[in-house]
């Protein structure tokens, strides 16, 4: 086992604040509409063991905007279906010339395992319920576009935090910059132990309490596919936690409404909130491209 290749991005937890700021700064200089040959000749593999729309397409456009070649491997259409292990798949991809692997996997730690055995950078595009670093970075990029600075900021994360790698990475990132983070949801989604994830996290079960004075509201999808065993009554979740126009009024007047997607209208939020003037949900998706261009440029040693 080796240390991951330089440029790997496996999580936010162990990144230093200055590395995060460096990536955010680099993303601001990336223009997805103008193809640059920065990564010409480089081969980027998108290795997806789980479904994806936003993350996969934006990594692909990001790589192509920098002139790299991409190939997509999905579990359902590759030898993974025949039982090939994660590492054997990695060795195969390296042998055909991969320079970088962007990987999503249902098991926490799978990209780390790959990174410890390959001499090329591995980028975690979501590992189980663990981390989703590129999402946390694009969310930070989006927040800074609208709020100018992290100073004095209050972010409220509402919903299925327990099953969410997006929430985990966001908590690590925001608390590194002193942002006040409040977690809100029922105990099935926000167990008391969630407060130990990062320093200074606050938990509340009451959405009215969570929203008062908040600058950013981050909503999460109810992840039914990760809920083996326990059931949650959706009607009671909707009654207590759904983001509605009336509830939104409790937050600061210009509070941002964020959601990593996919959004389920009528569940975690109403359609008028999703499409309202405070919603930056589509902007988050758009910002995924320059953010991932920066991540790939750094991974392949071309970040200046
Ligand atoms: C999320 C994911 O896959 O973790 N989506 C994303 O990457 N934007 C969140 C989710 O599936 O709810």
Cα–Cα distance, 229 to 144 (Å, whole number): 39
Burial of residue 145, with CB atoms counted within 10 A of its CB: 0-12 exposed, 13-18 middle, 19 or more buried? middle
Q: Which atom of ligand 1 is nearest to the CA of 166?
A: 4
Q: CB atoms < 10 A from the CB of 54, how many?
A: 17
Are 143 and 256 in contact, with CB atoms under 8 Å apart? Answer: yes
Which range (64-78, 100-114, 207-221, 239-253) has the least confidence? 64-78
Answer yes or no: is the C-beta of 134 below 6 A from any ligand 1 atom: no
Q: Check for a shared fold between 17-130+288-299 and 134-285.
A: yes
Answer yes or no: is the C-beta of 58 below 6 A from any ligand 1 atom: no
pLDDT band at 140 (very low <50, low <70, confident <90, very high): very high
Cα–Cα distance, 102 to 19 (Å, whole number): 19
Write the CB contacts of 64 (distance below 8 Å, at least 6 apart in sequence).
35, 70
- Residue 82 has a pLDDT of 81
Q: Kindly give the distance from the C-alpha atom of residue 46 to the centroid of ligand 1, in angstroms, as a whole number.
A: 16
Q: CB atoms < 10 A from the CB of 192, how many?
A: 8
Residues 153/262/281/129 CA torsion (nearest 10 deg): 20
Q: Which atom of ligand 1 is nearest to the CA of 221?
A: 12
pLDDT of 184 above 90:
yes
pLDDT of 158 above 90:
yes
Enter the pTM of the model: 0.96
pLDDT band at 304 (very low <50, low <70, confident <90, very high): low
Write the CB contacts of 198 (distance below 8 Å, at least 6 apart in sequence).
171, 172, 174, 175, 181
Instruction: Tokens for 247, please give them.
Output: 């509830």
Domain-wise residue ranges, the chain: 17-130+288-299, 134-285
Cis omega (within 30 of 0) for bond into 198: no
Q: Kindly give the distance from the C-alpha atom of residue 166 to the centroid of ligand 1, in angstroms, as a whole number.
A: 7
pLDDT of 212 above 80:
yes
Q: Reduced to 3 DSSP states, what percent helix, strand and coil does the chain have, rounded to the nearest 5?
A: 40, 15, 40
Write out the CATH class of domain 17-130+288-299.
Answer: alpha beta
Write the CB contacts of 273 (distance below 8 Å, at least 6 apart in sequence).
243, 244, 245, 248, 257, 279
Write out the CATH class of domain 134-285.
Answer: alpha beta
Mean per-residue pLDDT for 167-183?
98
Mean per-residue pLDDT for 133-151?
96
Sign of the alpha-carbon dihedral angle for 262, 266, 271, 272: negative
Tens digits of residue pLDDT in 31-45: 999 988 999 999 999
Tell me the CA distances in angstroms from 286 to 32, 65, 142, 179, one per residue in order: 10, 14, 9, 24
């Amino acid at each position: 086992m080796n240390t991951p290749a330089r440029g790997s991005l496996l999580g936010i937890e162990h990144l230093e604040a200055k590395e995060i700021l460096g990536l955010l700064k680099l993303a601001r200089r990336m223009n997805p509409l103008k193809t640059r040959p920065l990564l010409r000749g480089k081969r980027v593999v998108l290795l997806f063991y789980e479904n994806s729309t936003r993350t996969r397409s934006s990594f692909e456009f990001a790589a192509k905007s920098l002139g790299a070649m991409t190939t997509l491997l999905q579990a359902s259409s590759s030898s993974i279906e025949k039982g090939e292990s994660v590492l054997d798949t990695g060795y195969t991809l390296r042998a055909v010339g991969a320079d970088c692997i962007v990987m999503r996997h249902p098991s926490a730690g799978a990209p780390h395992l790959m990174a410890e055995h390959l001499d090329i950078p591995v980028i975690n595009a979501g590992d189980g319920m663990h981390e989703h670093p590129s999402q946390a970075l694009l969310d930070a990029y989006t927040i800074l576009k609208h709020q100018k600075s992290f100073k004095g900021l209050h972010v409220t994360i509402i919903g299925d935090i327990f099953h969410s790698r997006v929430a985990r990475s966001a908590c690590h990132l925001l608390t590194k910059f002193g942002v006040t983070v409040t977690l809100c949801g029922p105990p099935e989604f926000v167990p008391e132990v969630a407060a130990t994830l990062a320093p200074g996290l606050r938990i509340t079960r009451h959405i009215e309490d969570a929203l008062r004075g908040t600058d950013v509201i981050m909503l999460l999808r109810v992840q039914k596919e990760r809920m083996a065993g326990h059931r949650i009554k959706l009607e009671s979740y909707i009654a207590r936690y759904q983001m509605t126009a009336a509830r939104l009024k409790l937050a600061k007047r210009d509070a941002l409404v964020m959601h990593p997607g996919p959004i389920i209208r009528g569940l975690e939020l109403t359609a008028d909130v999703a499409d309202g003037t405070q919603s930056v949900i589509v902007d988050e998706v758009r910002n995924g491209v320059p953010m991932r261009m920066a991540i790939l440029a750094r991974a392949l040693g071309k970040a200046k």
